[in-house]
A and B are shown apart, each in its own frame.
Chain A
Amino acid sequence: MDVLLNLTINGIATGSLIFLLAAGLTLIFGLMHVLNFAHGALFAWGAYFGVWIYTQTDSFLVGILGAIVIGGLLGWLLERWIIQPVYTNTMSQIQVTMGLLLVMNECLKVFFGPNQVSVRLPDYLDQSWLLGGVILIKYRLFVIAIGILVFLGVQYMLKRTRLGLIVRAGVMNKEMVQALGINIKKVFLYVFILGSSMAALGGMLFAPYSGVIHAGIGMDYGILAFIVVVIGGMGSIVGSAMAALLVGVLGAFMTYFVPSVALAVNMLLMFGVLMFRPAGLFGR
């Protein structure tokens, strides 16, 4: 029983990290219909630059804030100069964003070297408690708490603010939103910046969670995020949150009990969901 509880907590923590990456991806696809394969690179850039700032300042919090800012800046640059010209052409979007992913990953190797970078936890988060047989690791609880806060924040933005109202309407009918006098391109930019910041935050939180980072984490976690978005339903934040938890927890259990099929389980889960709900669990 204790093992099951431990695995569940680990899975939820991993799910929280995947959610941070998938939430931006699903918002961007839902509103803008942009398939952004470079989204994973923002995760990796957030990890590398956040850790670099953390090392320079010796403040994990400043590292997190730095990652968020860098993610937002990158999001602004990418949307404005690279994604905007290919909004209407899906094939170009795939080619451009795939190319961007490769270039951004290689840039990390140029800036930080080809080797893995070790990341240590700040002392105040490097603790654990034993509760019965369950090991509660403080940093995992911290990651889960951040995931919940971001989920609630995004839900608040979507349900309670005018920007959220425009985003929800834009997902349904972009033309009509414009015909009501709203500059949807500006909203696209805001959503892209928000999504990119969340991805970078996810990367920064992942770094001490994993202990080491390398340039390929963007690719690895980017694929996971795409699976989560497909399972949850394109454009659904709640769907992404549920699917991220499902993928995180299932991954933790399979890695422990049947490690030989752990890598395939996400794909199988996605096929299973798509067979019965082609639009995903919460998609339309």
Chain B
Amino acid sequence: MTLLKVDRIETYIGQYHILQGVSFEVKQGEVTVLLGRNGAGKTTTLRSLMGLNPISTGSITFKGESIHHLPTYEIARKGIGYVPEDQGVFPDLTIEENIRLAMQKSDDATLERRDWILNLFPDLKTFWKKPSGLLSGGQKQMLAIARACVNDNELLLIDEPSKGLAPIMVEKVMNVLQEMKDRVTVVLVEQNFYMASTIGDGYYIIDDGRTVHSGQMAELKVNESLKKEYLGIA
């Protein structure tokens, strides 16, 4: 079943025409990876999905409902969690406050999800009352993912979770994303092809603000020419 459908969206940032026709579909329960070189428009695509960079044309449909005209907070309340490229943690707030802020409800189900995610990221429990600005890059990434998972979200948009992380931390984040696949659908923007190809089911390649290729990750893994042409992987 298609959870998210993005149809020929175009986005301007100021006078710059960043997205010039991005289309893709996300099936429930899958990890869909958006690939492409730096500056291709992957981050703007996620920001457009969240309404942070509103689209000028095209449409975005989530669970059959058009969402591109909604303000960001309403898009989030539809059940879409967002982990931005810079993690977006609030440095002066403690980890506990960051998580509490994200919790749209405080019912048993939400508390159970919070406990589940804290078991995945035990570091967060250790530093529970510490300001999140003191965390390492990897720990901030964990907090950002935890915050996006604490609500009953059906879709997570995760922007470059491996960026700037040590290999051991990349492995840790990857394991968590693997574990989350059973609970939530994921759109992942990722430059680290190892990570993308390990956890991704389907892929879309974005180049110059357009979707230029798509398919199953298993096919891309063995398609050396495509990887070289669009991802610069020799």
Contact = CB atoms under 8 A, between A and B. Distances in A.
Contact of A181 (B52, B73, B97, B100): B73
Nearest to A171: B92
A169 B101 contact: yes
A240 B31 CA distance: 49
Contacts of B177: none
Contacts of B72: 175, 178-179
Given A168-B92, A172-B90, A178 B76 contact: yes
A184 B71 CA distance: 11
A169 B52 contact: no
Contacts of A184: 73
B52 A175 contact: yes
A175 B84 CA distance: 10
A74 B90 CA distance: 32
B93 A169 contact: yes
Residue from B73, B91, B102 whose CB has the most chain A CB atoms within 10 Å: B73
B101 A165 contact: yes
A166 interface: yes
Provide the main secondary structure of the chain A interface: helix
B50 A168 contact: no
A176 B92 contact: no
Contacts of B92: 168, 172
Contacts of A168: 90, 92-93
Given A168-B93, A169-B90, A172-B91, A181 B84 contact: no
A180 B76 contact: yes
Interface string A155-182: 0000000000110110011011111111
Given A168-B90, A173-B90, A180 B101 contact: yes
A95 interface: no
B75 to A, nearest CB: 8
B100 A176 contact: no
Nearest to A185: B71
A178 B71 contact: yes
Interface string B65-100: 000000111001100001010001011110001001
B147 interface: yes
A165 B71 contact: no
Nearest to A284: B92
B88 A175 contact: yes
Contacts of A175: 52, 72, 88
Contacts of A177: 101
B151 interface: yes
A88 interface: no
B104 interface: yes
B71 A173 contact: no
Contacts of A90: none
Contacts of A179: 50, 52, 72-73, 76, 82, 84, 88
Interface in B177-207: none
A236 B93 CA distance: 15
Given A173-B88, A175-B52, A175-B72, A180 B93 contact: no
Interface in A125-151: none
A166 B101 contact: yes
A165 B88 contact: no
A45 to B, nearest CB: 32
B50 A181 contact: no
Contacts of A176: 84, 88, 90
B97 A182 contact: no
Contacts of A182: 73, 101
A183 interface: yes
B101 A183 contact: no
B69 to A, nearest CB: 15
A165 B73 contact: no
B102 A180 contact: yes
A169 B73 CA distance: 15
B151 A181 contact: yes
Contact of B93 (A165, A178, A183): A165
A185 to B, nearest CB: 8
B52 to A, nearest CB: 6
Contacts of B90: 168-169, 172-173, 176
Contacts of A165: 93, 97, 100-101
A182 B90 CA distance: 15
Given A168-B92, A175-B88, A176-B84, 5 more contacts: A178-B52, A179-B82, A181-B102, A181-B104, A183-B71
10 contacts: A169-B101, A173-B88, A177-B101, A178-B52, A179-B72, A179-B76, A179-B88, A180-B73, A180-B147, A181-B151
Interface of B: 50, 52, 71-73, 76-77, 82, 84, 88, 90-93, 97, 100-102, 104, 147, 151
